[in-house]
């Protein structure tokens, strides 16, 4: 059996190694357009920033090491330019020698990956405008930074690559402006959770401009001018485009292979395309989202690796199935850890799912043990069924652990209220006796059983301000003095029982504290005394952070962005 693989990195390289482990006699050829067959995509920004010091550390396998261990024929700087599925051939160009030739296959696996989205604006191909996809791209940026010692940089785009590049450039002492066309960074988060990331980015000196529409670039001789809609200009020494990626579908499309959403290659759960004996994996394919059940394009290394393994199994006569992508991801943003899995509230609503969420601010470990840090967790679930839909965490130590527990729970079909029953490891340096994941389960159970009702930050604007409701801040007087929401009166929870007669039982009560824990206790007290009480989700800490971000974003809109 002769197997040709188009593209290396996560999907193609994984498939090649798995194929050899399954079939010692197969002839396996990998054609890779770049000069590197297996490299650490996710580590590329950290080489620019100097965190990864040796360029060799980015290379996971070389053509020589692949041959030595797996007897896989890897040919770098070879671009497959055409596929003939009827005759089972591929046309290949040797880029180093400018020679074109044809190769036959019994099985073909496509792993072309994704390519950067290049906005069609003037000057985008200028000498100081860079994209980051391959190792070669990284070397170009790194060499430019080393050679010219830039003082100012613009990063266009606020996804994973954009934020990692911004952080690494800041760490090199470069003043960074991040231009993001949507109103928030990271579309894998809901706006309220992204607001916490915005604050972190700004705290490290980044000039963050949201709803900033780049319309062109101009070479200014010793720099680049980034032109924004409305007439604003940002001057810099270099610009990096990180506005997103799109499936690299040119080969498949030209060969008549069926495409799915966003032009991605359509595959079934065996990673088979519409063409016989042609498989596809990685960032170029569309898959089923394992939570929503809808078609999705999810560009992450984990799914690509799994898909490569599954495709190799099936090439060798097996029957492995891909269960779908959940979209679990994590990123370091300066001192923060930002992680998510499954569906956001926004994505769940777009999928027509009636959902709710809980927001909590637990410590990373027992509060009495030194070094505990606060994280913000948001857990999304379906009303009625309590099906666990997704989670987002913004925090520090321990955030990754909780995200992985929640991702596992979603994958295993654990009901949201059953999070309270998970038997998780506890010792003071690592957790609390009631782990944050357990706490989310307790909160969801309380909602489901009617022990508490809640109101979210985005609903606060709609409740009446005519005196028909009681707005109650149950924090201490000192906390209240340091910051409060308009209209809320202070009555500490520990004094609540003694002042029930001061409250009108005919009026609904909206209770607020720092993190929604004491206000939950207040609601339990009040509800048992006949009051209709609502706990404000996330508490003052969360609500004020989102509101501060809203005010800051409105005040920093670029010219023309607000329609003026």
Predicted confidence (pLDDT) per residue in 109-127, tens digit: 999 999 889 999 999 999 9
What is the rounded distance in angstroms from the CA atom of residue 29 to the CA atom of residue 31? 7
Closest C-alpha among 336, 338, 343 to residue 357: 343
- Find where tokens 């994984």 sit: 14
What is the rounded distance in angstroms from the CA atom of residue 22 to the CA atom of residue 119? 43
Tens of pLDDT, residues 83-104: 999 999 999 999 999 999 999 9
Q: Is the separation of the CB atoms in 23 and 1 below 8 Å?
A: yes
42 is catalytic: yes
3 state DSSP class of 22: helix
pLDDT of amino acid 44: 84
- Sorting pLDDT into bands at 50, 70 and 90, what band is 401? very high
- Sorting pLDDT into bands at 50, 70 and 90, what band is 40? low
* The pair of three-digit structure tokens given for residue 220, joined into one six-digit string: 């200014």
- Considering only residues 159 and 461, tell me which one the structure prediction assigns the higher pLDDT: 159
Tens of pLDDT, residues 271-303: 999 999 999 999 999 999 999 999 999 988 899
What is the rounded distance in angstroms from the CA atom of residue 334 to the CA atom of residue 345? 25
Residue 59 clears pLDDT 90, i.e. is over it = no
Q: Is the separation of the CB atoms in 240 and 130 below 8 Å?
A: yes
Q: What is the pTM of this model?
A: 0.93
**Per-residue three-class SS string for 161-205:** HHHHHHHHHHHCCCEEEEEECCCCCCCCCCHHHHHHHHHHHHHCC
Closest C-alpha among 329, 407, 340 to residue 194: 340
Q: Is the separation of the CB atoms in 90 and 251 below 8 Å?
A: no
Burial of 330 (0-12, 13-18, 19+ CB in 10 A): middle
Q: Is the separation of the CB atoms in 95 and 266 below 8 Å?
A: no
What is the rounded distance in angstroms from the CA atom of residue 282 to the CA atom of residue 543? 38
Q: Give the pairing of strands 533-536 and 453-455.
A: parallel
Supply the mean pLDDT for the chain. Answer: 93
**Per-residue three-class SS string for 93-158:** EECCCCEEEEEECCEEEECCCEEECCCCCCCCCCCCEEECCCHHHHHHHHHHHHHHCCCEEEEECC
Phi, psi of 440 (to 5 degrees): -60, -40
Q: Which residues contact 432 (CB under 8 A, 6 or more apart)?
A: 362, 363, 365, 366, 367, 426
Tens of pLDDT, residues 510-559: 999 999 999 999 999 999 999 999 999 999 999 999 999 888 876 655 44
The catalytic residue among 42, 316, 513, 533 is: 42
Can you say whether the dihedral through the CA atoms of 199, 201, 206, 207 is positive or negative?
negative
Q: Is the separation of the CB atoms in 317 and 5 below 8 Å?
A: no
Phi, psi of 110 (to 5 degrees): -100, 125
What is the rounded distance in angstroms from the CA atom of residue 118 to the CA atom of residue 316? 38
- Alpha-carbon distances, residue 285 vs 247, 324, 502 (angstroms): 7, 12, 62
Q: Is the separation of the CB atoms in 131 and 118 below 8 Å?
A: yes
């Amino acid at each position: 059996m002769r197997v040709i693989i188009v593209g290396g990195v996560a999907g193609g390289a994984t498939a090649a190694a798995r194929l050899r482990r399954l079939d010692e006699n197969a002839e396996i050829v990998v054609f890779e357009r770049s000069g590197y067959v297996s490299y650490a995509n996710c580590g590329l920004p950290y080489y620019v920033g100097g965190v990864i010091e040796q360029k060799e550390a980015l290379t996971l396998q070389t053509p020589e090491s692949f041959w030595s261990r797996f007897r896989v024929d890897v040919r770098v700087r070879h671009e497959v330019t055409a596929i003939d599925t009827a005759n089972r051939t591929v046309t290949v160009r040797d880029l180093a020698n400018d020679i074109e030739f044809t190769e036959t296959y019994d099985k073909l696996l496509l792993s072309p990956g994704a390519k950067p989205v290049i906005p069609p604006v003037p000057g985008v191909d200028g000498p100081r405008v860079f994209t980051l996809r391959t190792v070669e791209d990284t070397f170009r940026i790194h060499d430019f930074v080393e050679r010219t010692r830039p003082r100012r940089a613009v990063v266009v785009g606020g996804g994973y690559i954009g934020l990692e590049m911004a952080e690494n450039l800041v760490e090199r002492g470069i003043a960074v402006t991040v231009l993001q066309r949507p109103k928030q960074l990271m579309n894998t988060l809901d706006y309220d959770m992204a607001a916490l990331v915005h604050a972190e980015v700004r705290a490290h000196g980044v000039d963050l401009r949201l709803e900033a529409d780049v319309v062109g670039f101009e070479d200014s001789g010793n720099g680049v001018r980034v032109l924004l809609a409305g007439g604003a200009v940002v001057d810099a020494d270099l610009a990096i485009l990180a506005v997103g990626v799109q499936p690299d579908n040119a080969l498949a499309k030209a060969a008549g292979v069926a495409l799915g959403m966003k032009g991605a290659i359509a595959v079934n759960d065996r990673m088979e395309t519409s063409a016989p004996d042609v498989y596809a994996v990685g960032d170029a394919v569309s898959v089923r989202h394992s939570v929503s059940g809808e078609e999705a394009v999810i560009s992450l290394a984990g799914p690509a690796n799994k898909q490569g393994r599954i495709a190799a199994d099936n090439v060798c006569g097996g029957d492995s199935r891909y269960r779908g992508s959940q979209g679990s991801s994590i990123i370091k943003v300066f001192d923060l850890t930002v992680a998510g899995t499954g569906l956001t509230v926004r994505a769940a609503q777009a999928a027509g799912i009636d959902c709710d969420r809980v927001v909590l601010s637990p410590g990373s470990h027992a509060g009495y043990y030194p070094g505990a840090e606060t994280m913000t967790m948001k857990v999304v679930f379906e009303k009625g069924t309590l099906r666990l839909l997704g989670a987002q965490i913004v925090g520090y130590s321990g955030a990754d652990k909780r995200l992985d527990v929640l991702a596992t729970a979603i994958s295993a079909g654990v009901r949201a209220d059953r999070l309270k029953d998970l038997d998780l490891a506890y010792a003071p340096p690592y957790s609390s006796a009631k782990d944050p994941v357990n706490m989310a389960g307790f909160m969801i159970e309380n909602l489901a059983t009617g022990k508490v009702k809640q109101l979210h930050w985005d609903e606060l604007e709609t409740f009446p301000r005519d005196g028909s409701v009681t707005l109650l801040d149950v924090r201490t007087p000192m906390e209240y003095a340091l910051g409060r929401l308009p209209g809320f009166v202070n009555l500490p929870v520990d004094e609540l029982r003694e002042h029930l007669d001061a409250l009108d039982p005919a009026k609904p009560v909206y209770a607020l504290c720092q993190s929604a824990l004491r206000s939950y206790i207040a609601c339990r007290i009040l509800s048992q005394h006949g009051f209709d009480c609502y706990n404000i989700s996330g508490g003052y800490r969360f609500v004020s952070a989102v509101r501060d971000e809203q005010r800051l974003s409105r005040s920093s809109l670029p010219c023309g962005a607000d329609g003026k």
